[in-house]
Amino acid sequence: MSDLSPADAAEPGFRQSVDLMFNRAAALMQLSPGLEQKIRVCNSTYTVRFGVRLRGKIETFTGYRSVHSEHMEPVKGGIRYALSVHQDEVEALAALMTYKCALVEAPFGGSKGGLCIDPRQWEEHELEQITRRFAYELIKRDLIHPAQNVPAPDMGTGEREMAWIVDQYSRMNTTDINARACVTGKPLNSGGIRGRVEATGRGVQYALREFFRHREDMAVARLTGTLSGKRIVVQGLGNVGHHAALFLAQEDDARIVAVIERDGALIDDRGLDIPAVKAWLAEHGGLQGYPGATFTADGASVLEMDCDILIPAAMEGVIHRGNAARIKAPLIIEAANGPITFAADEILRQKGCVIIPDLYANAGGVTVSYFEWVKNLSHIRFGRMQRRAEESRSRLLVEELERLSADRGLGWELMPDFKERFLTGSDELALVRSGLDDTMRTAYQSMREVWHSRNDVTDLRVAAYMVAIGRVAETYRSKGL
């Protein structure tokens, strides 16, 4: 896509923002024009319109499945259910998936799907009919396939919808031994993996932990110390925002001073009780009326409150040209896809705000999806072969230490909690979290190396794009392009 006119560039749309961010990085790389264009463009988008008989009449729905890059297969990307779904959004999200997978070294190309629907307007059995018909349309064109295109949950979808999709695929491909690998984010009883539901929020936590391990990076954001006590504002308490807030509060002693949702925001400088807020939201459908915190109906204004870390975890474009100058947070981590527009990104960088970009920050989901896909193809639960062997080896060591103490009359004993933790072998959840932590650390280090080694790279987003584009380019070159 060509550069925008000055008038349009003031506030480009989501897809244009992704293209412009790509352009910023590509301008600093030695790519041939042809290869640069091949990486940028979306390979294909399938639009489907299908009818389902519901409530005595035929309802017609519009859905999309976009494939951005097939430099590696299968391609990977979620399916979202929202009335805002349209082709440009799906193609932009597919492009982000390409760069995201390359950055965290998940061996996938980028894809994305969407259905233009408000899932809250339909009963569960109706949603199942709609989902199965949408899946049928995609499956028969190999747009859902373990070796070609592997969806996952996104906004408006979850384990339930993925279970319907894998069952639909199995019905249509009765002899495919790898049928369960056609989609990730499934329930455990349908071939899912422990830790997938929390994965994106957990990845946000690991990303922040890694950032706070580097004093040089913290200094750029004018922050000191650790995550403990840091004042955090979270916009969106869905799956990603909820888990990120929960883990940061409970495990890193951060203070979630504000939460923003559809109907407004809650503010409490002492730190909100995230499980209680989430329970209230589930029961009442909004934040209004929650006891023990200040409610404001103007949720957008809370994005601008004074805090240490801002976590936009809902929709794209919530920080834009109109409000970017008033954002006070010195550090923003993009838990959502595209929450900062290209114009806002320019304003925030000029202010000295550090942005941990979406293609890295929310890559926890696709990382653990990769683990689930591998589990489905290997047909064995992680940890099943080695967990008890680990426990036996650890027990041998502990018993020998205790024997030596008794034999020599030293009289020392291992602390019971240490002994219990040391003797516990790694189960599937522990291995998934370990793999995710390693992935987030390694990916961040690859970004910061570019960020700090080149004078012409001034922010993490450009660094992330450069790492990702470079890896995609190398793959295409190895294919002879």
Q: Is 112 known to be catalytic?
A: yes
Contacts of 122 (CB under 8 A, 6+ apart): 54, 130
Is there a contact between 364 and 440 (Cβ–Cβ < 8 Å)?
yes
CA 297 to chain centre: 28
Catalytic residue among 112, 186, 230, 375: 112
β-strand pairing of 57-69 with 109-115: antiparallel
C-alpha–C-alpha distance, residues 466 and 461, integer Å:
9
Q: Which two tokens stand for residue 92?
A: 């932009």
CA dihedral 227→228→231→234, nearest 10 degrees, is: 60
Q: What is the CB neighbour count within 10 angstroms for residue 331?
A: 24
Is there a contact between 71 and 479 (Cβ–Cβ < 8 Å)?
yes
Q: Which two tokens stand for residue 392?
A: 């036996």
Give the catalytic positions in this structure. Answer: 112
